[in-house]
Structure 1
Amino acid sequence: MPRKYVILLVVALGVIVLDQWTKYLVVRELTSQMQGQETLGGRLGAMFGDPPPQGYDGLHYRPRRSIEVSENFFRLRYAENPGAAWGLFRSMSPDKRGPLFHVVSLGAVVLIVFYFRKLSGSDPAEKWALWGLPLVLGGAMGNYIDRLARGFVIDFLEAHWFDKAAWPSFNIADAAICVGVGLLLVDAFVRKEKPAPAPTKAA
């Protein structure tokens, strides 16, 4: 298998596994959804099965606690996002939002694979895209798994400034997408299309 496809599989699958594993830990430790489930299968069923109806706070899983990592700057707190990144399209009706996200997610996968196939994998100038595209792919698939399983994405990373200003909650998949897009922006500035050599004039 060519080296570039090894990178694609390892990075994308690594992001997906890390993303789903951290979400599992968040649901287990910060919500009551898995209480009473003694086996791994039972806990996974509670996480990936049909979610309970929304409560008064708008959440399907009832939060139990949050974890203050840095009292005035960062915490781990369970949140649900039925919309896109940063809560976009949150207010759209579910019957329209679901098909839209399916089309966008699958379209993103097709485009990423299409552009990745065009990389030679041996040109040092491609290194930004070589790592950026798999990060975006893994992040997109991580959140898409959430949407397929329960119709909303689990977020839990919350950066804030003394509770006076806060960045929208996000997760590992979102972070991978942001880093990947950043690498692709660097690639757009660093890697330029080489102009075709001018034809030589006959003597």
Structure 2
Amino acid sequence: MPRKYVILLAVTLGVIVLDQWTKYLVVRELTTQMDGKESLGARLGAMYSDPPPQGFNGLHYQPKRHIEVSENFFRLRYAENPGAAWGLFRNLPPSTRGPLFHVVSLGAVLLITYYFRKLSGTDPEEKWALWGLPLVLGGALGNYIDRLARAFVIDFLEAHWFDKAAWPSFNIADAAICVGVGMLLVDAFVRKEKPAEAPSKAKA
């Protein structure tokens, strides 16, 4: 198998596994959804089956605590996002939102795969795209698994400034997408098409 496809599989699967594992830990430790479920199978069933109806707080899984990593700057707190990144389109009706996200997610996978296949895998200047595209792909698939399982994405990373300003909650998949997109922006500058050399003038 060519080296570039080894990188694609390793990074993509690594992001998916890390993303789903951290979400599992968050649901287990920060919500009541897995309370009383002793076996791993029962806990996974509680996480990947149809969620219970929304409670009074608008959440399907009910929070029981949060973790202050840095009191004035960062915490781990369970959140649900039925929309896209930063909550975009969350107010669309489910009958419209669901098909839209399926089309967008599958389209992103096809587009990323198409551009990745065009990489040679041997050009040092391709390194930003070689690693950036799998990060974006892994992040997109990680969140897509959430949408397939329960129609909303689990977020839990919350950055804030003394609770006066806050960045929208996000997860490992979102972070991988942001890092990957950043690497692709670097790639766009590094691999600018070199102008064709002008033919040398014939000596008189």
TM superposition score normalised by structure 2: 0.97
Runs of at least 5 residues in structure 1 that lack an aligned partner in the other structure: none
Q: CA deviation at 1:175?
A: 0.1
Task: Give the SS at the match of 1:193.
Answer: coil
Residue 170 of structure 2 aligns with which residue?
Answer: 170
Moved more, 190-199 or 28-37: 190-199
Q: Give the alignment of 1:1-203 within 5 angstroms.
A: 1-196=1-196
Q: CA deviation at 1:193?
A: 1.8
Deviations 1:14-51 (A, max 9, x none): 00000000000000000000011110000000000000
Deviations 1:36-86 (A, max 9, x none): 111000000000000000001000000000000000000000000000000
Task: Give the SS at the match of 1:32.
Answer: coil
For 2:98 and 2:200, locate their aligned partners in 1 and report how far apart those are by CA, in whole Å: 57
Runs of 4+ in 1 over 3 A off after TM superposition: 194-203
Q: CA deviation at 1:174?
A: 0.1
TM superposition score normalised by structure 1: 0.97
Could you tell me the percent identity over the aligned residues?
85
Q: CA deviation at 1:197?
A: 5.1
Task: Give the SS at the match of 2:6.
Answer: helix
Task: Give the SS at the match of 2:155.
Answer: strand
Deviations 1:100-126 (A, max 9, x none): 000000000000000000000000000
Task: Give the SS at the match of 1:104.
Answer: helix
Q: CA deviation at 1:201?
A: 8.3
For 2:150 and 2:184, locate their aligned partners in 1 and report how far apart those are by CA, in whole Å: 31
Task: Give the SS at the match of 2:129.
Answer: helix
CA root-mean-square deviation: 1.3
For 1:13 and 1:194, locate their aligned partners in 2 and report how far apart those are by CA, in whole Å: 34
Runs of at least 5 residues in structure 2 that lack an aligned partner in the other structure: none
